[in-house]
């Protein structure tokens, strides 16, 4: 009896620690404060995409995003604040045809002397055991690099993180790196860095805020800017609005402050503005609430397009099922999850959720027509009789990204369907949802079984998966 009581108390303490660090208060300001909407003219919003596909066994690509980012960096005269999850030479030895994205961006920072900050995730330093050469290039170009302090964020891995907090985080990390680094070619790392990585916390944002002459510009994307990601599928938007830029900047300043750096840049307070588009910057739980809200409001006659690298968040899946049953039509284009930076991947989660959605909804299911690349997109569009409502940004459609346990930034844009922006985004969605950019559902590999399905559900619920 006493032994059972001891075990019961130990498990209760473990569960309590897990719950506390999963739901504890976030550092102030990192999620941007109260959700605000801004009015912006459609002509002040630009939409861009990177798309790779295969025709007649040859790779075809449309690449717009990096060029737009470089243009914005070079145009800035007073300041640049950039936040990107991956900025490294990870897996750069896997192929000889990657574009030198990191070097191009560093060169763009060199064009003008002005204050610049680059916020990134410690994955680029292998959690303190390695310095990414592109980060060193940035510092040599006069950019202040800020590595995000993840230990102040909520925990994501509900099973492992309590053990890490109680026992593993206290281990001496000063020992020299002796283990092969799984991310960097010809580099080593420490076992403690690997143990910290298993927590699956992260600053997953991809955005830029800068001046643009007398105005301010924000750039939000799903794209990482490392060489190995140069042919991945992604989307981005550029928004010229002081109000949007200010809200995003205040959140980035809070992340830098949490990591021990002050960014002394101010954008004057702006009102809601004027224009025919409604723009809503989204961080934290606001991302999930906005996605679910649009799906709940969708009705018969509306058309949905959802493009995703990972689609596994259960509330989002159930909202898709209910929307389909209400008569909403549409297309889902998913990555097959067969490849992870050139390595074979077991198909989690889309090889499990794809068949579920194919059987429970009337949506057309399609697979991105790629091979050794990844369809890294996170994009949702709802076409109504008069409006084009779309979501772009860094957040994957999984529990990890939509539960405020990692840092994400999205934007929701509600534009007139007959505007240039509305037609451009809708044309892209139709183009992506057709041959040969994407393939019919029957062409995909679907590895389904009850055991695999419920194992995916376990990984999703506990945050123990790598998706």
Residues 284 and 253 in one domain: no
Per-residue model confidence (pLDDT) at position 130: 81
Cβ contact 411:390 at 8 Å: no
What residues pair up with 203 in beta bridges, in sequence order?
Answer: 407
pLDDT in tens, the chain (467 residues): 777 888 888 898 899 999 999 999 999 999 998 999 999 999 999 999 999 999 999 999 999 999 999 999 999 999 999 999 999 998 877 777 899 999 999 999 999 999 999 999 999 998 888 888 999 999 999 999 999 999 999 999 999 999 988 888 877 666 677 778 777 767 788 888 888 888 889 999 999 999 998 899 999 999 999 999 999 999 999 999 999 999 999 999 999 999 999 999 999 988 788 999 999 999 999 999 999 999 999 999 999 999 999 999 999 999 999 999 999 999 999 999 988 766 778 889 999 999 999 999 999 999 999 998 999 999 999 999 999 999 999 999 999 999 999 999 999 999 999 999 999 999 999 999 999 999 999 987 766 788 889 989 999 999 888 78
Per-residue model confidence (pLDDT) at position 169: 81
Q: Report the distance separating Cα 224 and Cα 378, nearest Å.
A: 12
Domain with 350, as residue range(s), is 277-462
Domain-located, residue 30:
no
Length of the chain: 467
Residues 362 and 324 in one domain: yes
Residues 201 and 282 in one domain: no
Q: Give the torsion sign (CA, 293, 295, 298, 302).
A: positive
Residues 302 and 385 in one domain: yes
Domain-located, residue 22:
no
The predicted model scores a pTM of 0.95
- Tell me the C-alpha to C-alpha distance, in Å, between residue 102 and each of 5, 74, 109, 390, 439: 56, 15, 11, 29, 31
Residues 230 and 316 in one domain: no
Give SS3 for 94.
coil
Per-residue buried b or exposed e for 155-180, using 16+ beta carbons within 10 Å of the residue's own CB: bbbbebbbbbbeebeeeeeeeebeee
- The CATH number of whichever domain residue 457 belongs to comes to 3.30.870.10
H or E, element range at 82? strand 80-84
Residues 248 and 293 in one domain: no
Q: How, if at all, do strands 378-383 and 303-308 pair?
A: antiparallel
Q: Report the distance separating Cα 91 and Cα 381, nearest Å.
A: 32
Residue that terminates a domain, selected from 200, 223, 258: 258
What residues pair up with 399 in beta bridges, in sequence order?
Answer: none
- Tell me the C-alpha to C-alpha distance, in Å, between residue 267 and each of 40, 110, 220, 247: 17, 23, 18, 9
What residues pair up with 209 in beta bridges, in sequence order?
Answer: 81, 218
H or E, element range at 423? helix 420-432
Cβ contact 311:332 at 8 Å: yes
Domain-located, residue 45:
yes
Per-residue model confidence (pLDDT) at position 133: 93
Tally of structural domains, the chain: 2
Cβ contact 309:378 at 8 Å: yes
Domain-located, residue 421:
yes
| φ, ψ for residue 428, nearest 5 deg | -60, -45
Domain-located, residue 425:
yes
* End-to-end CA gap in the chain: 41
Domain-located, residue 455:
yes
Cβ contact 105:69 at 8 Å: yes
Residues 253 and 297 in one domain: no
Q: Which two tokens stand for residue 27?
A: 């550092």
Per-residue model confidence (pLDDT) at position 6: 81
Residues 222 and 155 in one domain: yes
Residues 282 and 239 in one domain: no
Q: Report the distance separating Cα 389 and Cα 422, nearest Å.
A: 8
Residues 225 and 322 in one domain: no
The 3-state DSSP composition of the chain as helix, strand, coil percent (nearest 5) reads 35, 25, 40
Per-residue model confidence (pLDDT) at position 174: 67
**Rg of the chain taking only CA atoms, in angstroms:** 22
Residues 293 and 425 in one domain: yes
Give SS3 for 215.
strand
Domain-located, residue 442:
yes
Name which of 389, 433, 432, 430 is nearest 411 in CA terms: 389
Domain-located, residue 266:
no
* β strands within 140-299, DSSP E: 144-147, 179-180, 188-189, 206-212, 215-221, 234-240, 277-283
Residues 232 and 322 in one domain: no
Who's near 58: CB < 8 A, 6+ residues apart?
Answer: none
Per-residue buried b or exposed e for 363-382, using 16+ beta carbons within 10 Å of the residue's own CB: bbbbbbbbeebbbbbbbbbb
């Amino acid at each position: 009896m006493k032994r059972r009581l001891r075990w019961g108390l130990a498990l209760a303490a473990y569960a309590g620690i897990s719950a506390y660090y999963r739901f504890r208060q976030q550092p102030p300001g990192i999620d941007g404060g109260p959700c605000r909407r801004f009015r912006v003219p459609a002509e002040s919003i630009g939409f861009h995409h990177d798309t790779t596909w295969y025709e007649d066994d040859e790779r075809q690509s449309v690449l717009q995003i990096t060029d737009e980012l470089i243009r914005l960096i070079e145009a800035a005269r007073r300041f640049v604040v950039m936040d990107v999850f991956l900025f490294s030479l990870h897996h750069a030895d896997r192929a000889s045809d990657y574009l030198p994205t990191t070097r191009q961006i560093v060169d763009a920072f060199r064009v003008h002397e002005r204050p610049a900050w680059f916020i990134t995730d410690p994955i680029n330093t292998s959690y303190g055991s390695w310095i990414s050469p592109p980060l060193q290039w940035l510092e040599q170009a006069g950019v202040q690099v800020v590595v995000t302090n993840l230990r102040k964020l909520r925990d994501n891995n509900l099973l492992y993180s309590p053990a890490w907090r109680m026992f593993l985080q206290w281990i001496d990390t000063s020992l020299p790196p002796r283990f092969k680094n799984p991310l960097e070619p010809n580099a080593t790392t420490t076992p403690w860095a690997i143990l910290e990585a298993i927590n699956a916390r992260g600053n997953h944002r991809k955005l830029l805020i800068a001046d643009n002459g007398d105005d301010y510009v924000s750039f939000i994307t799903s794209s990482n800017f490392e060489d190995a990601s140069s042919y991945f599928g992604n989307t981005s938007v550029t928004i010229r609005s002081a109000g949007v830029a200010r809200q995003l900047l205040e959140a980035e300043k809070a992340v830098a402050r949490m990591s021990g750096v002050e960014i002394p840049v101010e954008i004057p307070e702006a009102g809601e503005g004027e224009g025919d588009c409604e723009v809503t910057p989204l961080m934290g739980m606001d991302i999930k609430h906005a996605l679910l809200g649009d799906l709940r409001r969708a009705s018969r006659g509306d058309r949905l397009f959802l493009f995703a690298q990972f689609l596994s968040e259960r509330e989002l899946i159930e909202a898709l099922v209910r929307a389909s049953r209400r008569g909403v039509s549409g297309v889902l284009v998913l990555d097959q999850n067969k490849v992870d930076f050139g390595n074979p991947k077991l198909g989690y989660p889309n090889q499990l959720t794809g068949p579920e959605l194919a059987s429970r909804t009337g949506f057309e299911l399609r697979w991105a027509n790629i091979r050794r690349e990844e369809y890294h997109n996170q994009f949702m569009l709802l076409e109504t009789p008069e409006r084009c409502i779309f979501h772009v940004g860094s957040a994957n459609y999984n529990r990890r990204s939509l539960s405020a346990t990692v840092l994400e930034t999205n934007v929701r844009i509600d534009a007139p369907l007959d505007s240039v922006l509305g037609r451009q985004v809708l044309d892209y969605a139709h183009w992506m949802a057709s041959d040969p950019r994407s393939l019919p559902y029957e062409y995909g590999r679907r590895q389904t079984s009850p055991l695999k399905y419920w194992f995916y559900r376990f990984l999703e619920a506990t945050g123990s998966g790598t998706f």
